[in-house]
Amino acid sequence: MSIVVDQITKYYGSQKALDKVSFNIQEGEIVGFLGPNGAGKSTMMRILTTYLNPDEGHGTVNGHDLITASKAVRSSIGYLPEQNPLYPEMYVREYLQFSASVYALSDVQHRIDTIIGETGLDSHAHKKISELSKGYKQRVGLANALLHQPKVLILDEPTTGLDPNQLVGIRQLIRKVGQHTTILLSTHIMQEVEAMCDRVIIINKGKIVADDYLADLKSDAVQEIEVEFDYKVEPELLQQINKVREVEDLIKQQGFYYRLKFETTEDMRSAVFDFAHDNELRILALNKRNKNLESMFQELTKD
Ligand code: ADP
């Protein structure tokens, strides 16, 4: 197991930032750690990188205990914090050389050349860090985090502040790195998870509220059916449709629209038609859509 988190709790004074958080991450997974601002993502990442100790609970990274073997944890992970700490006055290659000296690497020059190539920095290696765009600064941060070939990479909000083109580039790079590295990346953007991850762990107010593989999420999708009738129907009546969980009265300019939510993989359209027929309701339009990660996230993290 690459990462084991077992019942971790963390307080800042009297404020509980993490509340009995548990999850495991297997080798080779790319996992999105998703949650609104203040949910506890950075706190969890600081604990996994041993910059903070948990108040309760345990964890390991690459088999090393977070508290009793913190040095071994740190040397086996790559970490890109939210505020990418670069030295603006240094040149890219010089900076990577400086970082490499910390890790007693053998064949440093070869390793630096390789990582410069892998992170797409070839044409920027001779530039000053302060001259680089935000996207290229992130590439330097990633190159730095990957220098010592860690088995686990921890990225805190790696795409914050990037423009759409830079975003695409960094996402591709993270996917590529993920082919041979376990990655845990935090974000508050749902699309980010869909673009890069195999699995999503959702945290809200310090507690895990979902932990699923994206493929499963899509097939388990909660179903919503929007239906238009030719006159007003009491939502209480629609609530009687088999397996309906929620009925929303949608106010539209013209017409009588309702959104019916079902928690089933079975296609409920014919059930809605049958119900309308049995109750002498006339359907003018009916539209089914599967629930996406974005609406699931909103539901799980709303107050
Ligand atoms: P996220 O990364 O998901 O935005 P954080 O882990 O930064 O969330 O924060 C979790 C909670 O802990 C928030 O309520 C935040 O205000 C609080 N918090 C974070 N850092 C500190 C700190 N150094 N001192 C006090 N409270 C903090």
pLDDT tens for each residue of 3-51: 999 999 999 999 999 999 999 999 999 999 999 999 999 999 999 999 9
101 Cα to the center of ligand 1, angstroms: 33
Residue 222: pLDDT over 80? no
Residue 96 clears pLDDT 60, i.e. is over it = yes
Contacts of 119 (CB under 8 A, 6+ apart): 139, 140, 142, 143, 146, 173
- For ligand 1, the distance from its centroid to the CA atom of residue 14, given in whole angstroms, is 12
Q: Is the CB of 41 under 6 A from ligand 1?
A: yes
CA-nearest of 68, 125, 122, 67 to 96 is 125
Report whether 154 contacts 178 (CB < 8 A): no
Structure tokens at 147: 């220098």
Ligand 1 centre from 3 Cα, in Å?
A: 22
Neighbours of 85 (CB within 10 A): 8
Backbone angles phi, psi at 233, to 5 degrees: -125, 140
Q: For the residues 93-108, what does the mean pLDDT come to? A: 89
- pLDDT at 289 exceeding the cut of 60: yes
Q: What residue ranges define each of the domains in the chain, with the CATH number in brackets?
A: 3-218 (3.40.50.300), 221-301 (3.30.70)
Identify the DSSP state of 128: B
Tell me what pLDDT residue 300 has.
80
Between CA 124 and CA 120 the distance in angstroms is 9
pLDDT value at 71 more than 90 = yes
Reading phi first (left if > 0) and then psi (alpha if -120 to 50, else beta), residue 62 is in left
Q: Measure the CA–CA gap between 197 and 194, rounded to whole angstroms.
A: 6
What pLDDT score does 288 carry? 84
40 touches ligand 1 (CB under 6 Å): yes
Mean pLDDT of 143-147: 94
- Alpha-carbon distance 96 to 112, whole Å? 7
Q: Which residues contact 213 (CB under 8 A, 6 or more apart)?
A: 198, 199
Measure the CA–CA gap between 65 and 6, rounded to whole angstroms: 11
Q: How much distance in Å is there from the Cα of 37 to the middle of ligand 1? A: 9
Q: What residues contact 185, with CB distance under 8 A and at least 6 apart?
A: 30, 31, 32, 33, 154, 155, 156, 158, 174, 192, 196, 197
Specify the pLDDT at position 299: 77
Helix (H) or strand (E) holding 213: strand 207-213
Q: What is the mean pLDDT of residues 116-124?
A: 93
Q: With a cut of 60, say whether residue 196 has pLDDT above it.
A: yes
Nearest 5 degrees, angle CA 266-CA 34-CA 48? 130
SS3 label, residue 12: strand
Per-residue model confidence (pLDDT) at position 219:
59
Per-residue pLDDT for 220 more than 60?
Answer: no
Q: Enumerate the β-bridge partners of residue 149.
A: none
CA distances from 188 to 10, 121, 173, 182, 194 (A): 20, 27, 19, 20, 12
Determine the distance separating the centroid of ligand 1 and the alpha carbon of 89, expressed in angstroms: 31
Mean pLDDT of all residues belonging to the chain: 91
Residues 136 and 124: their CA atoms lie apart, in Å, by 8
**pLDDT of 50:** 97
Residue nearest to atom 17 of ligand 1 (CA): 17
CA distance 75 to 25: 18
Gap between the Cα atoms of 290 and 277, Å rounded: 24
> How high is the pLDDT of residue 181?
95
The answer to whether the CB of 14 is under 6 A from ligand 1 is: no
Average pLDDT (269-275) is 94
Its pTM stands at: 0.79
Counting atoms of ligand 1 from 1, which one is nearest the CA of 13?
25
List pLDDT tens digits, range 160-171: 888 888 889 899
Which residues make beta-bridge pairs with 213?
Answer: 199
